[in-house]
Amino acid sequence: VSKLQPLDRVVALADAGQRSFGENYPQDLRDRAAALADRGLDWHAIGPLQRNKVKYVARAASWFHALDRLEVAVELGSRRVNDPIRCFVEVNVAGEATKHGVAPAEVGRLCDAVRAVPGIALVGLMGMPPIPDDPGWTMEASRVHFRALAALARSLGLSELSMGTTGDFPVAVEEGATWVRVGRLLFGDR
Ligand SMILES: *Cc1c(COP(=O)(O)O)cnc(C)c1O
């Protein structure tokens, strides 16, 4: 996850062999994908997306991890009918009022609707448990959320799981993550 990191650090990681990069902000994704277009990188859009910024993701990303509305899927898919973009539905795993994502009870319905959208290849679920600024917190607290997300994905026949950040990715991997979204560990603090 290269969001908010200076471009020279992204270049350094690309030079070291890293091929997949994740960006939160659609304009940053557009600019970086353009700046590094000759390097054969694979771009992941991982942040919330408004309809008016869909075009940037449609042009630059191979993957979108934060789908939580059908209207965005329709808009995005309409620009990718000949080259479907792989998408994760984002689940609000801990039911936090401030987080993006769909409530677990709504996920099945959204996935059914998204599966019918041309240009979208629904591949999995994404979730991000809370990591409180609390000295007593350990990554074990994320396990129950990752496990529930994995069970939900299985029940929907989805094979990819985007879960785990710098703070809790080892537990996410144990629970079946197929993509981890690690930023600070690789790049240093933002
Ligand atoms: C910032 C961010 C990450 C990476 O977090 P780190 O703590 O830097 O590993 C992963 N996923 C999303 C959606 C993010 O916004």
**Helix (H), strand (E), coil (C) string for 101-151:** CECHHHHHHHHHHHHCCCCEEEEEEEECCCCCCCCCCCHHHHHHHHHHHHH
- 65 neighbors 88 (Cβ within 8 angstroms): yes
Closest CA to 167 of 138, 126, 188: 138
Q: What is the model's pTM? A: 0.97
CA of 164 to the centre of ligand 1 (A): 8
> What is the CA(82)–ligand 1 centre distance, in A?
30
Of 84, 155, 152, the residue nearest 114 (C-alpha): 84
List, for residues 64-102, the tens digit of each pLDDT value.
999 999 999 999 999 999 999 999 999 999 999 888 999
In a 13 Å sphere around the CA of 86, the CA atoms on its Cβ side amount to 15
Q: Tell which one of 24, 63, 186 to mutate to probe ligand 1, the residue whose CB is within 8 A of the most ligand atoms.
A: 24
Ligand 1 atom nearest to CA at 46: 13
- Within 6 Å (CB) of ligand 1, which residues are found? 1, 3, 24, 46-47, 128, 165-167, 181-184
pLDDT at position 98 is: 84
Q: Determine the pLDDT at residue 175.
A: 98
Position 122 scores a pLDDT of 98
Q: Which residues, 6+ apart, have CB-to-CB distance to 155 below 8 Å?
A: 108
Task: Give CA separation, 22 vs 4, 42, 166, in Å.
Answer: 11, 9, 13
Span 161-181, pLDDT tens digits: 999 999 999 999 999 999 999
Name the strands in the sheet holding 63-67, side by side, starting at the edge strand that comes first in the sequence: 20-23, 42-45, 63-67, 85-91, 120-127, 160-163
